[in-house]
Amino acid sequence: MGKLLKDMNFIDMGLHYGYPTCCIEDFMVNAMVVQFSSGARTTHTEEQNKVSKDTGYTGFVPCQKHAKEILRGEIKLEDLIVNRQCKTPFPQGEHD
Ligand SMILES: [Zn+2]
């Protein structure tokens, strides 16, 4: 499993875009579940789905803890993005 995750390159991608590791890990777990169940299932909570919807489906879904904090208004999604190496502003990628 460790090797597969490495192959999927999510950590590099997540760090590249400046996401916190807790959110990257949550993202990876969900991606694995979705992949192995043909997209029929997701580990995302209602809170995570709401944040994803509210932010216009940027492709980045924060972890459950951060999703709750965002919904409570304690932090903003943008606050999670630090040390972003990608030059284009969030949420666009370099190839958009
Ligand atoms: Zn997080």
Over residues 28-62, the pLDDT tens digits come to 888 888 888 876 688 899 999 999 888 777 777 89
What residues pack around ion ligand 1 (CB closer than 5 A)? 20, 22-23, 63, 66
CA of 23 to the centre of ligand 1 (A): 4
User: Residue 82 CA to chain centroid, in angstroms?
Assistant: 13
Nearest to 29, CA basis, from 47, 16, 14: 14
**CA distances (Å), 33 to each of 11, 17, 36, 60, in order?**
17, 22, 5, 16
The confidence score (pLDDT) of residue 3 equals 55
How far does the centroid of ligand 1 lie from the alpha carbon of residue 18, in Å?
12
pTM above 0.95, yes or no: no
Give distance in angstroms: CA of 41 to centre of ligand 1: 21
- The CA distance from 87 to 1, in Å, is 31
- The token pair that represents 29 in the structure block: 């777990």
Residues 6 or more apart whose Cβ sits within 8 Å of residue 50: 67, 71
Overall average pLDDT of the 4-21 stretch? 68
61 CA to centre of ligand 1 in angstroms: 9
